[in-house]
Amino acid sequence: MTLVERLDQEVAWRRGEISPEIYFDEELYALEQERIFGSTWIPVGHADMVREPTSYVTNYVGEVPVIILRDPAGTVRGFINRCRHRGNMVCLFDRGKAHNFTCSYHGWTYGLDGSLVGVPRERDLYGPGFHRADWGLEEIRIADFKGLLFASLDKFIAPFEQWLGDDARWWLETFVLGEPVGGLEALPGWHRYRTPGNWKLMAENFIGDNYHVALTHASWFRAAGEMRERGSQAAMITSPLPMRTKVPTYEVTAGFGTGCPLGLGALVTQGEALFERDMEEAKRLGPEVVDWLRYRQDRMEKALIGVDPQPYGFINGLLFPNLGLMGYVSPMIGRHLMLFQPHGTTEHEAWQWTMVERETPEVVREIALQRVYQGQHMAGVIAPDDVENFERVVEAMRTRRAQRLPLNFEVHIDDDGDEFPGLPGNVGKEPSEVNQRQFYRFWLELMTRGGGAVS
Amino acid sequence: MTVLTVEDKYRIEELLRREAHLLDERRFREWLGLFTDDAEYVIPLTEAVQGDVAPAGHPIVKDSKDMLLARVLKDETGFSHAEIPTSMTCHLISNIVVDESPKEDAEVRSAFVVHQARKLRDEAWWVGRRRDLVRRVDDEWRIAHRVITLDTSLLPRGISIFF
C-alpha cells in the first residue's frame, strides 16, 4: 500500500503519532500540490506591494509561478506566469511596473488584463481559426482580505471569507492586521532563503511549537542577557518578550476541530507589564511616541470591549497552510510575515516581508524594522538556528528505514480544551502541541477528500 | 580629503587580507577590533526589479558594533545550533582597489568568494562585493563602514557567518 492509501493510519493526530514519511514521500508531495496548494487559498502578499496601477509582484502558489498585479482600472488580479504558446515565463522580475508582458521566446505579448495583445507575424502564420481571445494568460482567483492577498488555482473555490471561520477572521482582523489601530503597511521587498526540510516542518513550528523556544534559541537569550548587562541598547537586545515579564502565555486555535486552522502562540492576556515596558521605551523616544502608544492602547481597549480577558498580543502564528506570523507581542516590533513555499520534499523557501502599523511614529519604525531583520529572519539571531534543526531532521530521516517509527505530538493531548470562553477560538495551555494536531487534522481532511489516489 | 600614499594603500590591503585570516581562524574578538566603535555593517537586499519602484523597505543586515558583538557572544555560548559544529569558512578576497574618499580617510572596494562548509555534507557558496570606508585611528587602519552586496536574491541558507 502506498503512503497515500494508508494516510489515515499514518497521520494519527488524535493520539499524537504521525509518520515522518509525510515529509519525504514523492507521491504525497505531488498530491499536496493538488489538494493543498492547488485547491485552497494560498497567501501571495499584500495589496501595498501593488499599490499603484500597473505595478506587480511575482510569487508562487505551491510551485506554480504567478504574477500578482494591479490593472489600470485599479483591480488586483493574478495570472499564471506562463506563456500560452510554448510555456515560457513571461515575467522575470521580483517586482516592478509594466504595461504588458512579452515572452522572450517568440514574442507573444499580454496586457495587464491577461489578454493576448501581440503575436509576431500573426497574419502570415496563423489561419482564420486562430483567435487571440482563446489564448490569454490563465487568470487565477484573488482574494483581498483587508490588504492580505490570497490566490487560488481552483476556479470554483468558495470565497475566502467562507474559507476562513469567524474565529480566525476575528483574530486576523484584530490582532494580525491591527484593524482597530489603523491597520498595517507593507514594506517593499521579498527577503528569501532556502531552507532544508519539507515545508510542513516550518509550518508546524510556526502554528504552535513554543516548546522548542527555550532550547533552540537558548544561545540568543543568553547573549542578549549579557549584552543588556553591558548596557547595550541595540534594538534586538532590548526587544520586548513576554518571557522577560514572567506573565503566563497561552496557545490559541481559531478553527479548532473544524475548518481552516489559525494557530497563535505565546498569547499574553495580562499585558500590563509589557505595556509598561513599551511605555518606558516610548518615554526614551519622545513625547509623540508616548502619545501614540496611549492613543493606540485606548483604541485597542475600546475594540476589545466585551472580550474577556483582553489579549495584549502574541509572538508566533500560522494560518493554514503556509502563512507564518511573528512580532505581534508589541507595537514596538515590526510584523514578520513569511510564506513557507514548498520546493520538493526535502527543501522549502521562506519568502518574508515586513509590515508596521501605519500610524507608527518614524522613530519607532526604524527600531521596529531592526527587530525584524535582527530576529526571525535569514540573517537574524533566531531563524538560522531553526533552519539548522531542519537540516539535521532531513539528514536523520531521509531513508525509509529511519522513517519507520512515528513522531510524537502528544504535548497536552488530553488537556487541550478552551480555558477562556470569553475569547474567540480555543485558548488553552502552553507549551502545547494542540495546534500541530489541528494542522494535521485539517491537512488530512483535505488530503483524503475524494479518496486516496492521485487524480 | 586624505591623500593616500602607496604605503597607506598597502597597509589597507593588508588589513583586508589579515581580516580574512582572522575570520577563517574564528578569532572573532580580534576581528571586531578591526572595526571603529561607531562602525556599521550592512548587507542590503538584492532584488531584480523592473521600472520605477520604491526601494526595499529594509536591508538583510544593518548591525552596529554592539550587534556584531552580540552575534559573537551568541556563538561563544556554545548553544548556537547554526554554528555547532562550527562552520569551516574560507574567505577569498580579491580585486582590491583603494581610493580617496570624501567621507572617510579611504574607500576600499573588494570582491569575495566565501565557502562555508558544515557538518558532513552541507555547504554554501557566498559571492559578492564589499565597499568599506576605512579610517586612520592612532596610526592603525580601521573599518568604519562596510556594505556587503551578495550576488543572490534567494540566500542559499541562513547567515550565521561574517563577510
pLDDT for res A455: 41
Q: What is the ipTM of this complex?
A: 0.95
Q: Quick one: A121 and A189 in the same domain? A: no
Amino acid (one-letter) located at A7: L
Q: Quick one: A224 and A350 in the same domain? A: yes
3-state SS string over chain A? CCCCCCHHHHEEHHHCEECHHHHCCHHHHHHHHHHCCCCCCEEEEEHHHHCCCCEEEEEEECCEEEEEEECCCCCEEEEECCCCCCCCCCCCCCEEECCEEECCCCCCEEECCCCEEECCCHHHHCCCCCCHHHHCCCEEEEEEECCEEEEECCCCCCCHHHHCCHHHHHHHHHHHCCHHHCCEEECCCCEEEEEECCHHHHHHHHHHCCCCHHHHCHHHHHHHHHHHHCCCCCCCCCCCCHHHHCCCEEEEEECCCCCCCEEEEEEECCCHHHHHHHHHHHHHHCHHHHHHHHHHHHHHHHHCCCCCCCCCECCEEEECCCEEEECCCCCCCCEEEEEEEECCCCEEEEEEEEEEECCCCHHHHHHHHHHHHCCCCCCCCCHHHHHHHHHHHHHHHCCCHHHCCCEECCCCCCCCCCCCCCCCCEEECCCCCHHHHHHHHHHHHHHHCCCCCCC
Give the pLDDT confidence of A25-76 residue by residue, as tens digits.
Answer: 999 999 999 999 999 999 999 999 999 999 999 999 999 999 999 999 999 9
Give the pLDDT confidence of B51-94 residue by residue, as tens digits.
Answer: 999 999 999 999 999 999 999 999 999 999 999 999 999 999 99
pLDDT for res A453: 46
Task: Domain of residue A267: give its range.
Answer: 165-448
pLDDT for res A454: 45
Q: Quick one: A72 and A180 in the same domain? A: no
CA of B24 vs chain A CAs: smallest distance (Å): 19
Q: What is the CATH number of the domain that holds A437?
A: 3.90.380.10
Residue A184 falls inside a structural domain: yes
Q: Most A CBs within 10 Å: which of B29, B42, B52, B73, as the mutation test of the A interface?
A: B73
Residue of A nearest to B67 (CA): A234
Chain B residues with CB under 8 Å of A233 CB are 66
Q: Quick one: A186 and A116 in the same domain? A: no
Question: Would the pLDDT of A277 be above 50?
Answer: yes
Residue A10 falls inside a structural domain: no
CA of A385 vs chain B CAs: smallest distance (Å): 5
Q: Quick one: A267 and A324 in the same domain? A: yes
C-alpha cell at A372: 525584524
Give the pLDDT confidence of A3-16 residue by residue, as tens digits.
Answer: 999 999 999 999 99
Q: What is the CATH number of the domain that holds A49?
A: 2.102.10.10
Q: Quick one: A75 and A197 in the same domain? A: no
Closest CA to A85 of A137, A22, A133, A161: A137
Distance from C-alpha of A36 to C-alpha of A390, rounded to nearest angstrom: 22
Q: Quick one: A358 and A393 in the same domain? A: yes
Question: Which fold is adopted by the domain B6-46+59-150?
Answer: Nuclear Transport Factor 2; Chain: A, (3.10.450)
Q: What is the DSSP string of B62-91?
A: EEEHHHHHHHHHHHHTT--GGGSSPPEEEE
Beta strands A184-186 and A95-97 are unpaired
Decide if A88 touches B, using CB distance below 8 A.
no
Q: Where are the domains of chain B?
A: 6-46+59-150
CA of A443 vs chain B CAs: smallest distance (Å): 28
By Cβ distance, the residue of A93, A234, A349 closest to B70 is: A234
Chain A residues with CB under 8 Å of B75 CB are 219
Question: Would the pLDDT of A24 be above 60?
Answer: yes
